[in-house]
């Protein structure tokens, strides 16, 4: 834990100067950065993902050797043995990053934002990491979103949820039907398994969408975020 807490993640923040009553933490995909995913979202939406009362935070994963890239350094949330859904999870790196991101979220809490006013999510690997973070480390967050993401068939998340009896945050999930990197079927199977284990889930399919973001998807995400994190009247 001490080693994990020593890692300070770089971050890009939207709505930093305004007073906010909620936070969204948006995790990028493998090989990307916080500024990179923010710029991509802005390009797709033609504006930032911005809300009057919500701060949006895009952390950057530290560079680590990544096995699917021949152990070359890449900004990834965890390592993988390969990019197949029946592969064994790289538990050591997932858990290490889970502790680092838990500390990252705790900093939001210390700034005055309650855990039940924080949503965690991401694209591709970022969405997978967000699912691990919410359902294994921080089950009291306001919600989780995963865009073009999946969990491995024998994910430790499923094992943990079989033993968990408390309330769980809602999962908002989207996936392109033409995704040939993270197959639509993998995302759908993840959603069905989590739902069977008691997670409140929604799953939205986008025909002809590859492994990318889509404006309609992000507009749906914005509406869902506002539903989960309405403005608080003081």
The set of catalytic residues is: 124, 179, 211
Ramachandran assignment for 89, one of left (phi > 0), alpha (psi -120 to 50 degrees), beta (any other): beta
Residue for token digits 């506002």? 226
Q: Are 4 and 29 in contact (CB under 8 A)?
A: no
Q: Are 31 and 83 in contact (CB under 8 A)?
A: no
Q: 3 Cβ partners below 8 Å, 6+ apart?
A: 96
Q: Residue 101's Cα: distance from chain center in Å?
A: 11
């Amino acid at each position: 834990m001490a080693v994990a807490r020593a890692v300070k993640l770089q971050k890009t923040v939207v709505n930093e100067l305004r007073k906010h009553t909620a936070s969204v933490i948006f995790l990028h995909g493998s090989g990307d950065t916080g500024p990179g995913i923010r710029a991509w979202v802005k390009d797709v939406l033609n504006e930032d993902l911005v809300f009057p009362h919500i701060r949006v935070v895009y952390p950057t994963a530290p560079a680590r050797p990544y096995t699917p890239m021949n152990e070359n350094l890449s900004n990834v949330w965890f390592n993988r043995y390969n990019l197949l859904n029946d592969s064994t999870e790289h538990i050591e790196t997932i858990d290490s990053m889970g502790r680092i991101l838990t500390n990252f979220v705790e900093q939001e809490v210390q700034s005055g934002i309650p855990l039940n006013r924080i949503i965690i999510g991401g694209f591709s690997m970022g969405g997978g990491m967000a699912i691990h973070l919410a359902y294994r480390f921080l089950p009291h967050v306001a919600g989780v979103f995963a865009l073009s993401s999946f969990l491995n068939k024998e994910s430790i998340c499923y094992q943990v949820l079989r033993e968990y009896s408390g309330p769980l945050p809602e999962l908002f999930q989207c996936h392109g039907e033409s995704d040939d990197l993270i197959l639509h079927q993998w995302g759908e199977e993840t959603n069905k398994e989590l739902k069977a284990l008691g997670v409140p889930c929604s799953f939205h399919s986008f025909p002809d969408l590859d492994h990318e973001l889509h404006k309609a998807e992000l507009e749906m995400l914005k509406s869902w975020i506002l539903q989960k994190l309405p403005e608080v009247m003081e």
